[in-house]
Chain A
Amino acid sequence: DAGITQSPRHKVTETGTPVTLRCHQTENHRYMYWYRQDPGHGLRLIHYSYGVKDTDKGEVSDGYSVSRSKTEDFLLTLESATSSQTSVYFCAISDQGATEAFFGQGTRLTVV
């Protein structure tokens, strides 16, 4: 299995609080992604990174920010969590020339 770890695996937080999810990889892959999964929507891309300090928005980026200061870590931050951000969040990695992406185990975030 690809070395990709998400933390925390579960989190409950209150509306208006900041939340940071961490994705850590040991594969030295160039590309890292954050997706959210919601019933009836499949997985949707929030943000992605194509190198250290190189990030870009996905289709559902409003309310989220990311940072990648090291190859192995990709952080997703909800500056002020809202109930609409209750979801399962997946990190994924891929590499130049790779034919597939590898996914973390997911983080279930509940905003109450």
Chain B
Amino acid sequence: AQTVTQSQPEMSVQEAETVTLSCTYDTSESDYYLFWYKQPPSRQMILVIRQEAYKQQNATENRFSVNFQKAAKSFSLKISDSQLGDAAMYFCAYRWGSNYKLTFGKGTLLTVNP
């Protein structure tokens, strides 16, 4: 069974500093997608970044980047120059199967301190 593990229930970072959120997953598939979603207090699920497993290059979206280690089944999110608006719950997710189902980690609550 596919599982996604986020080992950090909570993290905090100072404004303008860098923080890394960890995610590991378990799968027997060779082709899949990985995602980081942000959920602010509004409850909206916002896609932060995606990574295709067959691409070795790490995905980057502005201040957000990932460190994708396929052999280690690790997919961490780095947030650079943290801003107050980055404070949210972050979910790592794995997409599997022909019906594009998502398996989520339990989430990491990120606090940004001014």
* Chain A residues within CB distance 8 Å of chain B: 31, 33, 35, 40-45, 48, 50, 56, 58, 88, 90, 92, 94, 98-101, 103, 105-106
Contact = CB atoms under 8 A, between A and B. Distances in A.
Interface residues of B, number: 22
A47 to B, nearest CB: 11
Contacts of B43: 88, 105-106
A106 to B, nearest CB: 5
Contact of B102 (A98, A101, A105, A106): A101
B50 A100 contact: yes
A84 B106 CA distance: 18
B35 A44 contact: no
Contacts of A50: 99
Given A45-B102, A92-B45, A105-B44, 14 more contacts: A31-B99, A31-B100, A42-B106, A43-B91, A43-B102, A45-B103, A48-B101, A90-B45, A99-B50, A100-B35, A100-B47, A101-B100, A101-B102, A103-B44
A60 B103 CA distance: 12
User: What is the predominant secondary structure among interface residues of chain A facing chain B?
Assistant: strand
Interface string B22-36: 000000000001010
B68 interface: no
Contacts, number: 50
18 contacts: A31-B100, A33-B101, A35-B102, A40-B106, A42-B4, A42-B6, A42-B104, A45-B102, A48-B99, A56-B99, A88-B43, A90-B45, A99-B33, A99-B50, A101-B102, A103-B44, A103-B45, A106-B43
User: What is the predominant secondary structure among interface residues of chain B facing chain A?
Assistant: strand
Nearest to A88: B43
Contact of B105 (A42, A88, A94): A42
